[in-house]
Each structure stands twice: as structure tokens, then as C-alpha cells.
Amino acid sequence: MSLSKEVPADAFPQGFAWGAATAAYQIEGCWDMDGKGPSIWDTFCHAKGRVFEDQTGDVACNSYQLWEEDLKCIQQLGLTHYRLSLSWSRLLPDGTTNYINPKGVAYYNKVINDLIASAVMPMVTLNHFDLPQALENRGGWKSPEIADVFDSYAKFCFKTFGDRVKLWITVNEPYVCAKHGYEDGLYAPGLREPGTSVYLVGHNMLRAHSKAWHSYDANFRHLQGGKVSIALSSDWAEPLDPSNPEDVSATERYMDFILGWFACPVFCTGDYPEKMKTRIEARNLELGFSEGPRLPKFSEDEPNPLGTADFFALNYYTSRKVKNTSSHRSELSFKGDQGAEVVMDPSWPICGVSWLAVVPEGLRKLLNYIKETYNNPDIYITENGFSQIGPVELEDIERWQFYQDTLQEVSKAIRDDGVSVTGYFAWTLMDNFEWAEGFRARFGLFHVDFSRAELKRTVYHSGREYAAVISRHRTHIKLEKT
């Protein structure tokens, strides 16, 4: 990691959103309290052998009961924005609007009202991995009917909270959810159905998203004036050998199968990337697969995904070097379709979890790629962070170094490259339940003491420094105005 200077106060434009993000299942706990229905993550964690040491989000940070403590953390950081997700099954225990749980509504009303009273703008995600179990029992994201059920849930949320919430994310990371949930089985619902369900799930997520965006556009936008998008995760990828055309096209494929899969339909053409379509069709022939198209087609009878995002919501964590491979060629799998092998550059440090190579400069490159490829959208970086595993260091110097380097890269993308970055959300406000890693991977700006019932939050060095950057920025903008 390079040693960078302090982030200058004038590095970011006026109105820049300074945020931190969380997700309901990772922080709320109280998994069956006050009428909440179970989600697929409750079921997944309650089965043994899925999560590190069989840990669960049953209690997590207990944000359902300790919201006021979270609010203090948000205020201490001086955030202008806070990204949270709603637990769908806390609001609608069986996933449908047949029954609305008043205690769930009251909880989120309090959270949203407290944020607004503290001059913090909420950005609200409707679904961050935790699909209601009752819907999973009806086929979940694999079932075509999910798009309409999601649309009803979205309309209910717009109607109930949209007078105050102006930034909405429909679905978080369809790539991660489809790949880990249905291809690799690492995330809920833990299915391993390689090369097939992954595309169906991604498709239904896009259909659900599009319907919800169109509902907002037609019925709520003129009254509420908010914006709606979908949060897309992507690595930045570069060819291992830039002079080898096969590595170059494997890298393009890698990006298309992660980001283009969702960004191309929404921001470019209303359809999947050409290279993804032809590759999957060619592989169907090669493997003699004849049970219908694996990559579904968008129906003309439904709203098209093109144009269904009012901004680009990007979650960036890491970068990869990519080389061409045919090693999974004979198997029906996403990997075989993608035909790209990832290689870690040995010069990139790894932070905590094995997949997380620390490459802040990859973010600037990815922002430029998005500007060029997806028609220069306004971009919110809706997640970006650094994890620790092992003995906790409250003086997390390396994490702060990472944030400083990253913010420098973002500022260069804005100032030098003309990318329209409108905000940055650190992942995450406080240590929480890191999915299959349980509590051992800590991404927080606040430390949480999971060994005691009070679940005390204590600011890390990185949290203090992030607060100082935000405060310097705010003072600078005030001075500029006078």
C-alpha cells in the first residue's frame, strides 16, 4: 500500500454524500421478535455447517433494540447519508402485503425519522440477500411470480416511507446473490445448481427491479421526487498478459459476466451483453444442453430494464488479474461459461478475508470504465471497505491507510477524469455478521464487542479519521459559500 497524504478538504464537490452502509440481517438481530417472519438467512444459519462456527444473525448487533446506539455512531461520524436495508419479512412476515406487521413499520419509521431529525439522508435498500422464507417456499427468486410480489412490496415501501426516503436501492448485488446462493451454495438459500439457476435468478431480480422502478416512476416520483437504482458489485479486472489477445478477451468476458450482466440491460441496451449471450449459446451446443435457453430472454410484454436506474450504485471491493482458461470447459457451470481464471497479483496485500486484495487504484479505473461503458452516469459508491481477521486492533492504521488511498483515488476520478461520483458509503458502520464468515471478519468503522450482551460500539481509529475528513470537507464548503 502506498503512503498517501491526508485527504484534502477541497477534494470533493459540494453536495457530495458522505455515508456508511449496513444491511438488516447483518445488524438487526431479534430474528423472530415482534411478529417478524423468518428469512432465508435465518433458515440457512440455523442449519449446521453453513457458517463459520455455526454462527447466526439471531442477535448480531441487536440494532432492532439498540438503534439509538447506532444513531450515536452515525452522528459521531458526521455522516450526511446512511444506507440501511429493510428486512422484508419484518415488514411483511410472509413476503406479501396480505399482512403488514405494524411493529416492523414502527421500527423503520423511527429509524428514518431519527435520521432525518439528525440531518442524515437515508438511502434504503429493499432487499439485501434476506428473502422471506415463505417466498422461498414458493420457489423464491427462481419463480417468475417473484417479480410481481417484489413489486407489491416495493410499492408498499414507497407508499409508507417514500415521503421521507429519497434514495432507493431495489436489490443489492444480484451477481453475488445469484452466484453464491444458487451456483456455489455459499450463501442462502445454499443451492448448488451450476450453470442454470444462476441466470434465472439474475433474470428474475432484473425483472423485479424493473417493475419496481416503473412503479415508482409512474406513481410516486411526481409526489415524492426520489431516485431509484439497483446496487451492482464489481471487481476491476485486467488481463494477466495484456499482449495476449486471449487474456484480453477473457478479461472482457469476466467483466461482462459480473457487471455487464446487469449493467448492460439497465444502462445500455435493454438486453444482456452480446458476448455473454453468444458465449452461453455456444456452450449449450458444445455441451449438448437442450433444455431451453439458460440465459432467459426479456419478454416484450413486460417493462424493459433499459433506463431503470436514476443513478449507478456501485459496490467495489477488489481487483483481479485475468487469464483465459478452458479448464472448466466440459462442465455445465457459470465458471465454464465465463472461461476466465483469476490470478492474484502478489504485490496486492490481502486484508482479512482471502478474496479481499487491497487495490484502491482499481476503483478509479473501474469508475472510468463505468463512465465510458455505461453512458457517464452519476455514480454513488454504495459499498467499499476493508476487513480485519484475528486480534482486534482498535488502532486500525492499515484500514485508515486503505480509506485514505481510496478517497484519493475517488477524488482523482472526479477532478482529473471527470467521472460524476456523487457519494461514497463506507462498508460498514460497525462490525457485524459477515455472512458465511460469521463475526470473525470485521469491516466496521466501529468495533462491536460481541462477547458481552451490551454489544458496546467503540470507534476505531479509521472511524475517527473518516469523521475528520467529513468535517474538514463540510467546513471547506461552508467557507466557500461565504
Q: State the Cα–Cα distance between residues 203 and 147, nearest whole angstrom.
A: 10
Nearer to ligand BGC, 128 or 203 (CB): 128
CB 433 within 8 A of CB 26: yes
Among 67, 88, 427, 460, binds ligand BGC (CB under 6 A): 427
Q: State the Cα–Cα distance between residues 313 and 380, nearest whole angstrom.
A: 5
Q: Which three cell numbers stand for residue 180?
A: 453464491
Supply the minimum distance, in Å, between the C-beta of residue 186 and ligand BGC. 11
Is residue 383 at the binding interface for ligand BGC, with CB under 6 A as the rule? yes
Is residue 172 at the binding interface for ligand BGC, with CB under 6 A as the rule? yes
Percent helix, strand, coil in the chain (nearest 5)?
Answer: 45, 15, 40
Nearer to ligand BGC, 21 or 240 (CB): 21
Measured at the CA of 481, the angle between CA 382 and CA 119, to 5 degrees, comes to 45
The piece of 71-79, 130-138, 169-177, 358-366 that touches ligand BGC (CB under 6 A) is 169-177
Is residue 173 at the binding interface for ligand BGC, with CB under 6 A as the rule? yes
Q: Where are the beta strands (DSSP E) in 219-335?
A: 227-233, 236-239, 312-315, 319-324
The piece of 108-116, 172-180, 205-213, 403-411 that touches ligand BGC (CB under 6 A) is 172-180
Supply the minimum distance, in Å, between the C-beta of residue 52 and ligand BGC. 13
Number of residues lying near ligand BGC (CB under 6 A): 10
CA distances for 74 relative to 71, 98, 459, angstroms: 5, 34, 11
36 phi and psi angles, rounded to 5 deg:
-65, 140
Supply the minimum distance, in Å, between the C-beta of residue 277 and ligand BGC. 26
Beta bridge partners of 425: 19
Q: State the Cα–Cα distance between residues 113 and 117, nearest whole angstrom.
A: 6
* Best CA proximity match to 341, nearest among 326, 322, 367: 322
Supply the minimum distance, in Å, between the C-beta of residue 280 and ligand BGC. 24
Per DSSP, the residues of 181-225 read IIIS-SSTT----TTTHHHHHHHHHHHHHHHHHHHIIIIIHHHH-
Supply the minimum distance, in Å, between the C-beta of residue 434 and ligand BGC. 5
Supply the minimum distance, in Å, between the C-beta of residue 246 and ligand BGC. 29
Nearer to ligand BGC, 150 or 427 (CB): 427
Nearer to ligand BGC, 399 or 473 (CB): 399
Per-position x/- string for 19-38, each x denoting binding to ligand BGC as judged by CB under 6 A, each - no binding: ----x--x------------
Nearer to ligand BGC, 136 or 437 (CB): 437
CA distances for 266 relative to 32, 232, 259, 306, angstroms: 36, 11, 11, 4
Catalytic one among 28, 238, 383, 437?
Answer: 383
Decide the pairing of beta strands 319-324 and 340-343.
antiparallel
State how far Cα 376 lies from the chain centre.
20
Is residue 308 at the binding interface for ligand BGC, with CB under 6 A as the rule? no
Nearer to ligand BGC, 26 or 224 (CB): 26
Would residue 281 show up in a list of annotated catalytic residues for this protein? no
Among 11, 77, 131, 176, binds ligand BGC (CB under 6 A): 176
CA distances for 310 relative to 13, 122, 129, 209, 266, angstroms: 20, 16, 22, 12, 10
Beta bridge partners of 413: none
Is residue 381 at the binding interface for ligand BGC, with CB under 6 A as the rule? no
Nearer to ligand BGC, 26 or 319 (CB): 26
The piece of 104-112, 168-176, 333-341, 358-366 that touches ligand BGC (CB under 6 A) is 168-176
Q: State the Cα–Cα distance between residues 322 and 344, nearest whole angstrom.
A: 9
Supply the minimum distance, in Å, between the C-beta of residue 8 and ligand BGC. 28
Among 234, 434, 455, 460, binds ligand BGC (CB under 6 A): 434
Q: State the Cα–Cα distance between residues 100 and 116, nearest whole angstrom.
A: 24
Nearer to ligand BGC, 279 or 442 (CB): 442
Is residue 459 at the binding interface for ligand BGC, with CB under 6 A as the rule? no
Is residue 41 at the binding interface for ligand BGC, with CB under 6 A as the rule? no
Supply the minimum distance, in Å, between the C-beta of residue 218 and ligand BGC. 29
Helices 102-117/63-77 angle, 10° precision: 10
Among 56, 133, 197, 233, binds ligand BGC (CB under 6 A): 233
The residues of the shown chain that bind ligand BGC, judged by CB under 6 A, are: 23, 26, 172-173, 176, 233, 315, 383, 427, 434
Which positions are catalytic?
Answer: 383
